[in-house]
Structure 1
Amino acid sequence: MKPPLVGTNRRARRLLLVTLVAPGTHLVDVHYLGRPEIIAVGVIDTGVGTLLIDPGPSCALPALRQGITNLGVAVGDISAILLTHIHLDHAGAVGSLLRDNPAIRVYVHEKGAHHLIDPSRLLDSARRLYREDMDRRWGEFLPVPAPNVIALTGSETLRFADRRFPVADTPGHASHHVSFLDHATGTAFVGDAGGNRYSNRNYVSPVTPPPDGDLAGWQTSIDQFRRWDPARLFSTHFGCSNPVGAHLDELESRLALWSDRVRTSLADTGRSDEQHATEFVGWVAAQIRERLAPADAVMYEWGTTAINSWHGLARYWRTTTGDAPR
């Protein structure tokens, strides 16, 4: 079962796209593959230009364009894009936006910058995974001109007009992940480093895909978010979460629970990785169904990709304990 598709009434869709998060800050729901509450894009009016945070995949560009149009913003008004990381569901639309507005500056972790400039390796890897479904799921991923790319270490403070955005290196989900704190509104844009929590529902799901799933790194990211003490977390999947402390506590405990489950399964050498991963997916689905209404549970099961998290955690444990991968 999949989350319900959005209805075909165009006016209704336009009204559903944009949500006010804080003064001058909006969320645009790009209705990924026609489904609401899967991918959220941050839109910030600085007074001298518009910022986008993680514009999503290019296959969802029509909805993003409609969303910013609803806010009175054109692509030509975008001054900068802040990327938490370069995965296709976050960064796929960047090159297409720059094709229409070559003045946009793109801020990204230094480990991901070269993949924006030359995405060939990134796309080859993704195509091996998604095969013939690649174009439908993500659309094109155009290269970004090198002069437009600003590489970040995670120790900077970005300034746009009178707004300050401290940047933090936030690994765990990906080694090339950064997060941004908007001091003006107390909004922390955390990409996938805050886990998945769809529209503040009562479940926080880690996302630990290979090859970068890193439990120790994720703990440093959670600690960083606590030091920031933001008013809200803005996650790509999906939207704003508060209270922040309870959200982070649940993410931390669920990471420990999931990682222990995977580590225990690796001790059972009589079963294949595929068998272990399938069992893990069922176990996660049962957890979700205990906490959520059926329609909400379907959304999590569709968006969480627990099978990828099993493989990422298995790789982490095999790397840290020295066991050879199977």
Structure 2
Amino acid sequence: MSRPIDLCFGGEQRVIAAYWVDGMVIDPGPASCVERLLAQLPGEPTAVLLTHIHLDHAGACGTLCSLFPELRVYVHERGAPHLVDPTRLLASAERLYGPGLGLLFGRVEPVPEARIVALKGGERVGRFDVDYAPGHAWHHVVYHDRLTGTAYVGDVAGVRIPPDEHVVAPTPPPEIDLERWFETLDQLAAREPAALALTHFGVVEAPEVGDHLARVRASLAELAELAQRCTREAFQRVLQERLRRVLRPETLVRLEKAAPLDHLYLGLERYWRKRAEVKESRP
């Protein structure tokens, strides 16, 4: 049984979804939404499967481990140390969100190291095949359900807030890599999933899967070009104007909670700056 759970992040519906699949919780969301998550779980979870460790996906893990002593947490090996000691993760997030970080995401508890199962990609976890899926983050994975064909994609397949169909690629710092992200999308498409389970937000089902992945590609290319030629302020202004033309006002509010527009710029600005630095360092 697969069940989406709307965590009502920030008091808004259709911003962050967790997924329950046969006793496993995929991306349980932030610690600020734990009570909402627990109220909707149909049973005691046996495992948490993380696509990546960003707080809107993984912040609740430590709290869940304290509540469920047998719980195991599956995460890519690059992300595992930051669950055990979230100091650097929280410092990075505070640079983005400022002093309101705790109010927004709640208290992030460490995950006991003995509870963590580190992944590389290529494993099987119950009914899931695990693919390494960098681009949005170097520690991102995708879980493919062999029984239903659904791919639980975290952030690599973009943000789409229903009922609108417009897709935005979330590009926060510090680990955006466009080339690897496009490769991940190729890998995902080659799997021919029957459905994409998005954290932000909901399930995209066939025959819309191919079109949705094309929209992610188009958004990545558009945002990358815009960030390369614009200041931060101009990027936000131009992008918001574009989004206002294609989204309902209430959808735009939810999208900006899932993917703040200034964060999109900062991740891409860092990507372009690092590329330029590498180019300049070459003889």
- Contact 2:96 2:263 survives alignment (8 Å): no
Q: Which residues in structure 2 correspond to 1:95-244 (within 5 Å)?
A: 95-159=62-126, 164-199=127-162, 201-242=164-205, 243-244=208-209
Render the CA deviation track for 1:12-70: whole Å, top value 9, x for unaligned: xxxxxxxxxxxx1000001112111111000012xxxx0000001111011101111xx
Structure-2 residue corresponding to 1:17: none
Change (3 A) 1:59 1:298: closer
Superimposed CA distance per residue, residues 54-101 of structure 1 (whole angstroms, 9 cap, x where no aligned partner): 001111011101111xx3x1xxx2111000000111111111111011
Amino acid across the alignment from 2:166: Y
For residues 295 and 199 of structure 1, the distance between their equivalents in structure 2, rounded to whole angstroms, comes to 10
Contact 2:157 2:213 in 1 (8 A): yes
Q: In structure 1, what is the Cα distance between the partners aligned to 2:149 and 2:197?
A: 10
The answer for the alignment partner of 1:93 in structure 2 is 60
Q: Is the 8 A contact 2:29 2:55 kept in 1?
A: yes
Shift of 1:295: 2.3
1:284 corresponds in structure 2 to: 239
Please state how far the C-alpha of 1:131 moved relative to its aligned partner.
3.5
Query: Any idea what SS the aligned residue of 2:165 has?
Result: coil
Separation (CA, whole Å) in 2 of partners of 1:121 and 1:293: 37
CA deviation string 1:221-274 (max 9, x = no partner)? 101110111111111111112311000001101111111122223xxxxxxxxx
Specify the code of the residue in structure 2 equivalent to 1:140: R
Higher alpha-carbon Rg: 1
In the alignment, is the contact (CA less than 8 A) between 1:53 and 1:81 conserved in 2?
A: yes
- Among candidates 208, 214, 219, match of residue 249 of structure 1: 214
Determine if contact 2:162/2:251 at 8 Å carries over to the other structure: no
- How far the C-alpha of 1:125 sits from its partner, in A, is 2.6
Q: Determine which of 233, 250, 272 is the counterpart of 1:295.
A: 250
CA distance change for structure 1 residues 44 and 241 in 2, over 3 Å: closer, same or farther? same
Q: Which runs of 5+ in 1 are unaligned?
A: 1-23, 266-275
Distance 1:149 1:196 in 2: 28
Return the alpha-carbon distance in structure 2 between the equivalents of residues 124 and 246 of structure 1: 37
Structure 2 match to 1:263: 228
Q: Secondary structure in 1 aligned to 2:122?
A: coil
Please say if residues 42 and 55 of structure 1, whose CA atoms lie closer than 8 Å, have aligned partners that are also in contact: yes
- The CA deviation at 1:309 is 1.2
The match for 2:4 is 27
Matched, 1:60 2:33: yes
The one-letter amino acid paired with 1:258 is L
Distance 1:131 1:311 in 2: 14
**Closer/same/farther in 2, CA of residues 200 and 248 from structure 1, 3 Å limit:** farther
Q: Structure 2-normalised TM-score?
A: 0.93
Larger CA deviation: 200-209 vs 245-254:
200-209
- What letter corresponds to residue 84 of structure 1 in structure 2? T
**CA distance in structure 2 between the aligned counterparts of 1:152 and 1:173, rounded to whole angstroms:** 17
Match of 2:276 in 1: 321
Deviation beyond 6 Å, 4+ runs, structure 1: none
Q: Give the C-alpha shift of residue 200 in structure 1.
A: 5.5
User: What's the CA shift for 1:282?
Assistant: 1.5
**Paired residue total:** 277
Identity %: 40
Distance 1:131 1:314, change over 3 A: closer
Pick 1 or 2: higher relative contact order, CA cutoff 8 A, min separation 6. Answer: 2
RMSD of equivalent CA atoms: 1.5
Once structures 1 and 2 are overlaid, which stretch shifts more, 51-60 or 192-201?
192-201
Q: Secondary structure at the match of 1:251?
A: helix
